[in-house]
A and B are shown apart, each in its own frame.
Chain A
Amino acid sequence: MAERYDPKVLALICTYCTYTAADMAGSMRLQYPPGVRVVKLLCTGKVDVLYLLEAFRAGADAVMVSGCEIGDCHFLEGNLRAKERVAHAKELIAEAGLDPGRVEMFHIGASDAPKWAEAVRQMTRRAQELGPNPLGRQKAQSLAAEARP
């Protein structure tokens, strides 16, 4: 039987906009894939290329960064910097052999809960299409091997 694959999507999101939208999505009882792991940051300007690479090393199937809408960043241009870094990270993971579509930037305003739910669906779908991160599978195998007596 084929192994079941529930994509692990890491979401690095800012507290002022996207996190508020995600919170509201909960209050609104919006349904979206449960495989998303949210990490709240003060601002997506904190996102470093290294965080994105480390996420894939740790086995994430996809990584989404989501900040405020362009022009609405609480810290003026943190989301613009994050956008540049995500674009750079795409090149870096492509060089290493991962599909650049595994990492994406989103801009979701505080009141836009449906957009958040749709973004999570989109990234999960994409991770489904691309298949599991080969590192995640290897990590799981090596853990399983260690666990065997």
Chain B
Amino acid sequence: MIVAQRKDFEQIKAAAADFRKVLVVGCGTCVAVCLTGGEKEAGILAAQLDLASQIQGEDKSFAVACVERQCDLEFLDELAETVLDYDALLSLACGAGIQLLAERYPRVPVLAGVDTTFIGINRDVGLWEERCRACRACVLTTTGGICPVSLCPKGMLNGPCGGTRQGKCETDPERDCAWSLIYERLAGLDRLENLSAIVAPRDHGARSQPGRQVHPAYLRRYSAHE
């Protein structure tokens, strides 16, 4: 899932300073699971902003709305009647959701309430870890299901650099070396021969375009428009 963290309160307050009526818009999917931008977090942020503005004697109002997924137009339609009553929308969705909200309602300024941090896993209550950089050339089949692109700071693809020491990474003694983890995993699976295959250098040019993907069943529909 996509993981995000709430921006600093002062930063959010400053961004909202110019607006009198603000709608805090949560998203019920990834950011709700990482306890950053779901309905509850939207309620908490609106309450905090309201407290802060009342303490300063300002005449402002902060309301809350939450849609199932902000990155999906069909769920944004339900806000159509509401948004026009507000001077700004403060979105707590990931960067993709914030952008679609702004695209769907271009007449209302959209403010970002979170920083999108990574694609990750839920390790424990309140704890998330990065696991994928969306590199578009997944090597997990050969690396025993451990991603060197996100776990190795140098993104080494064909084994460790010279800095690996007793399973730890040279950049940080607290951090596991991704390639040691991969080696151990493959040894346990008796598949160390995976490591003899050479992974070709990445085509970073492919990343210079924003990703676009069409499901095979819809190819005709979209190619007709092009």
Q: A residues bordering B, Cβ < 8 Å? A: 48-50, 53-54, 56-57, 92-93, 95-98, 134-135, 138
Among B51, B52, B54, B57: residue with most chain A CB under 10 A: B51
Cβ < 8 Å to A, chain B residues 34-93: 40, 43-44, 47-52, 54-57
Q: B residues bordering A, Cβ < 8 Å? A: 9-10, 40, 43-44, 47-52, 54-57
Q: Would you list 12 pairs from A and B whose C-beta atoms are within 8 A, ordered by A residue?
A: A48-B40, A50-B47, A54-B47, A57-B54, A92-B44, A96-B51, A96-B55, A97-B51, A98-B55, A134-B54, A134-B55, A135-B54
Given contacts A92-B48, A98-B51, A138-B57, 10 further A-B contacts (CB under 8 A): A53-B51, A57-B54, A95-B48, A96-B9, A96-B51, A98-B55, A134-B54, A134-B55, A135-B51, A135-B55
In the complex the two chains form, is A50's CB within 8 Å of B40's CB? yes
Contacts of A56 in B (CB 8 A): 51
Q: Is the interface of A mostly helix, strand, loop or mixed?
A: helix
In the complex the two chains form, is B52's CB within 8 Å of A97's CB? yes
Among B10, B43, B48, B50: residue with most chain A CB under 10 A: B48
How far apart are B108's CB and chain A's nearest CB, in angstroms? 25
In the complex the two chains form, is B51's CB within 8 Å of A138's CB? no
In the complex the two chains form, is B51's CB within 8 Å of A50's CB? no
In the complex the two chains form, is B51's CB within 8 Å of A57's CB? yes
Rounded to whole angstroms, the CA-CA distance of A97 and B57 in the bound complex is 12
Rounded to whole angstroms, the CA-CA distance of A96 and B9 in the bound complex is 8
Instruction: With CB as the reference atom, state the residue of chain B lying closest to A139.
Output: B54
Contacts of A54 in B (CB 8 A): 47
Rounded to whole angstroms, the CA-CA distance of A50 and B41 in the bound complex is 9
Rounded to whole angstroms, the CA-CA distance of A57 and B44 in the bound complex is 11
In the complex the two chains form, is A97's CB within 8 Å of B44's CB? no
Rounded to whole angstroms, the CA-CA distance of A57 and B50 in the bound complex is 8
In the complex the two chains form, is A96's CB within 8 Å of B40's CB? no
Contacts of A97 in B (CB 8 A): 51-52, 55-56
How far apart are A87's CB and chain B's nearest CB, in angstroms? 13
How far apart are A145's CB and chain B's nearest CB, in angstroms? 13
Contacts of A134 in B (CB 8 A): 54-55
How far apart are A80's CB and chain B's nearest CB, in angstroms? 12
How far apart are A103's CB and chain B's nearest CB, in angstroms? 12
Rounded to whole angstroms, the CA-CA distance of A42 and B57 in the bound complex is 37
In the complex the two chains form, is A49's CB within 8 Å of B44's CB? yes
Instruction: With CB as the reference atom, state the residue of chain A lying closest to B56.
Output: A97
How far apart are A132's CB and chain B's nearest CB, in angstroms? 12
Rounded to whole angstroms, the CA-CA distance of A92 and B9 in the bound complex is 9
Contacts of B44 in A (CB 8 A): 49-50, 53, 92
Contacts of A93 in B (CB 8 A): 48, 51
Rounded to whole angstroms, the CA-CA distance of A53 and B55 in the bound complex is 13
Rounded to whole angstroms, the CA-CA distance of A135 and B57 in the bound complex is 9
Rounded to whole angstroms, the CA-CA distance of A96 and B13 in the bound complex is 9
In the complex the two chains form, is A96's CB within 8 Å of B48's CB? yes
Rounded to whole angstroms, the CA-CA distance of A49 and B38 in the bound complex is 14
How far apart are A77's CB and chain B's nearest CB, in angstroms? 11
How far apart are A57's CB and chain B's nearest CB, in angstroms? 6
Contacts of A135 in B (CB 8 A): 51, 54-55
How far apart are B8's CB and chain A's nearest CB, in angstroms? 9
Rounded to whole angstroms, the CA-CA distance of A36 and B224 in the bound complex is 70
With contacts A50-B40, A95-B9, A138-B57 taken as known, whether A57 is within 8 angstroms of B47 at the C-beta atoms is: yes
